[in-house]
Structure 1
Amino acid sequence: MLNPRLPALALLLLAGCVAPDQPPQGYATLPNDAVVGAGDPTRAAIIGTAYAFATPTTLAGQPAAAARAVANFEYLATELPYGPRWRGFTGTTGPDFAAGLAELRPAIGIAPNAPAQPVVQALYTASRALNAGDQPAAERALSVPIFPAGGGATLRRLAALPPLPRVAAATARAAQELDRQDRLGSPRGGGGGGGGGGGGRT
């Protein structure tokens, strides 16, 4: 008699075959205010995170800026290794960002299995609230299960980030690859589009 579990098992095996081509944490996009004006949000995220994590003193005591930097890294970890726009980047991009994500999430207090998109959304919401002087709203934005430490504790971690050498290395290499591709004249199209939609959406 045919085991009724076999079709489900076959689907799981098929999903396992497809999984390496998809971000484990799912694709993410950036909100419209990720970049000022008509700039490319992905390019801005690469350049901005490279600077922020290379000079962590600029984030010290600045949880709003740190929240945006962390959100941008979360987005880049889904976009650069998997988005078709960035296939010219070195093959170490995926491992670099995976290692950075494994270092970043525990430092901030992000659940290891959290999907990237709600992480990005919550961090940007918290950043906006902080910039508006609304600390309680920022805490509420981060008082969700994907931030198990709670909103207040997460904001304190954002205000005092520890050294994140793997994150810094991943973003620095991404900026170097962006510069290399620019010097080679590699066309990547306009906007922030990529495998996961590329950013610039709410």
Structure 2
Amino acid sequence: MRLFSASPLALAGALSLALSLGACATLPATRNTPFLPAGVFGTYQDNDIGAINQSAWAFASPANTRGNPIEAARAIIALEYLSGELPENPRWVGMGSTIKFRINEARGDLRHIVGIRPDAPPQLVVNALLALAWDLQFGNQTAALQALASPVFTQPPRVTLQALSNLPYVQTANLATVRAAEVEFPGGGVRG
């Protein structure tokens, strides 16, 4: 007795669907792409889309992160992540190399502004900023300052926290992240 019978067309459709869904998945962490836990940018967004949304919103205007180092840290985490994810994940093969270059350039600019070593491994930067955001969210100022005492930072913790609380307008970050959002959401800008 035969329990399953499928036409070659149905099998091809199922295979196409499986490959399409797999192409949307985040790749494992690499030297250039840090691991991010699920939900860093929201419950219903994968990390790629969440990082694009977060960074495009945060860098559109300094007012979006002013006085909110948690959101500033999340935006920098997004740049750290996108700098590796966009060039390495086949999902983004259609995104122009200029956008990927500009995202990496924006990451360097933000590292300079905040006081993150230019040669710091992205995973260490992300780990420190995730710890900072977590500690600030739960009101643990002492632990937050300890997170900023990581060797990836070049300034004293209070100076770094002040930089995160008052990010200036960074044109490279604004333009690069808006372009990435336009590729992901043609004609519609950032969507949540």
**TM-score (normalised: structure 2):** 0.77
Unaligned runs of 5+ in 2: 1-29
Pick aligned residue for 1:45 from 35, 46, 51: 51
Amino acid corresponding to residue 51 of structure 1 in structure 2: W
Aligned to 2:83: 77
Measure, in 2, the Cα distance between the counterparts of 1:180 and 1:36.
22
Aligned to 1:100: 106
**Structure 2 residue matching 1:34: 3-state secondary structure:** coil
- CA separation of 1:27/1:59 partners in 2, compared to 1, >3 Å: closer, same or farther? same
* Paired residues for 1:77-156 under 5 Å: 77-156=83-162
**Shift, 1:158, TM fit:** 0.1
Stretches of 4+ moved more than 6 A in 1? none
- CA separation of 1:33/1:140 partners in 2, compared to 1, >3 Å: closer, same or farther? farther
**Identity value in percent:** 36
Pick aligned residue for 2:64 from 58, 63, 66: 58
Aligned length: 159
Greater RCO, 1 or 2 (C-alpha within 8 Å, sep 6+) = 1
Amino acid corresponding to residue 143 of structure 1 in structure 2: A
Pick aligned residue for 1:177 from 162, 183, 191: 183
Aligned to 2:37: 31
Measure, in 2, the Cα distance between the counterparts of 1:25 and 1:170.
22
Measure, in 1, the Cα distance between the counterparts of 2:85 and 2:99.
10
**Shift, 1:81, TM fit:** 2.2
**Shift, 1:38, TM fit:** 4.2
- CA separation of 1:91/1:181 partners in 2, compared to 1, >3 Å: closer, same or farther? farther
**Structure 2 residue matching 1:64: 3-state secondary structure:** helix
Amino acid corresponding to residue 98 of structure 2 in structure 1: T
Amino acid corresponding to residue 85 of structure 1 in structure 2: R
**Shift, 1:181, TM fit:** 10
Pick aligned residue for 1:164 from 157, 167, 170: 170
**Structure 2 residue matching 1:92: 3-state secondary structure:** helix
* Residues 70 and 137 in structure 2, CA contact (< 8 A), matched pair in contact too: yes
Bigger Cα Rg: 2
